Amino acid sequence: MAEFSQGSFTAGAPPSKYPHRSLLERYGLRATRQRLGLARLLFSKGNRHVTADTLASEANALKMPASLATVYNVLNLFAQVGIVRGLAIEGTKTVFDTNTSDHSHFFFEDTGEIADIPLAGMKFADDVMPPEGYEIVKVDVVFRLRRKTSTNV
């Protein structure tokens, strides 16, 4: 039960133990226990694509309890300030991507998985004239993949 003890420091409060505290403060967000925990899950192992409930179960499995409602709140908040980015790929669950740079996605239709592609969507904005009075703020590009049928060579 101690893999994520947090809260009571004795001495000079080790400054490097909570690397995400500064991240939160940079965005003017209060550094609460669950925000720090979720930020750690999100940003400790490379770019990720999570849904609210995958992240919640992950947190709970690691004894970093956060209610589903809070996970939603935190993910929405992070998305709002730009720490993560929400994707609407499958219509149902919202996927949050920790990679906020301009890139595209593979969507594996068989597994539902999502993978990043280093292809800037904005480069396609040149091919398109936005309607009068509007500007293109983002270009979402999703390459939908199907397992190649062996008969279909």
Partner DNA sequence: TTACATGCAAACTGTTTGCAAATAT
Partner DNA sequence: ATATTTGCAAACAGTTTGCATGTAA
What residue ranges bind its own copies (CB under 8 A)? Answer: 86, 88-91, 94, 104, 106, 108-109, 115, 117, 119, 121, 124-125, 127-128, 130-131, 133-148
User: CB count, 10 Å around CB of 50?
Assistant: 20
The answer to whether the beta carbons of residues 11 and 41 sit under 8 Å apart is no
- From the list DNA, its own copies, none, pick the one residue 90 interacts with, judged by a Cβ distance below 5 to 8 Å according to partner type: its own copies
The answer to whether the beta carbons of residues 135 and 98 sit under 8 Å apart is no
Identified binder of DNA from the candidate list 31, 125, 142, 145, rule CB under 7 A = 31
Identified binder of DNA from the candidate list 18, 34, 142, 145, rule CB under 7 A = 34
- From the list its own copies, DNA, none, pick the one residue 127 interacts with, judged by a Cβ distance below 5 to 8 Å according to partner type: its own copies
Binding mask 39-78 for DNA (x = CB under 7 A): ------------xxx-----------xxxxxx-xxx-x--
Three-class DSSP category at 100? coil
Q: Name the packing angle between helices 68-81 and 33-43 (round to 10°).
A: 70
Beginning with the edge strand found earlier in the chain, give each strand of the sheet holding 85-87 in spatial order: 49-50, 95-97, 85-87
- From the list its own copies, DNA, none, pick the one residue 62 interacts with, judged by a Cβ distance below 5 to 8 Å according to partner type: none
| AA identity, residue 62 | L
User: What is each CA distance from 116 to 53, 85, 121, in whole angstroms?
Assistant: 21, 13, 12
In whole angstroms, the minimum distance from the beta carbon of 2 to its own copies comes to 37
The residues that touch DNA, with contacts defined as CB under 7 A, are 7, 29-35, 51-53, 65-70, 72-74, 76, 91-94
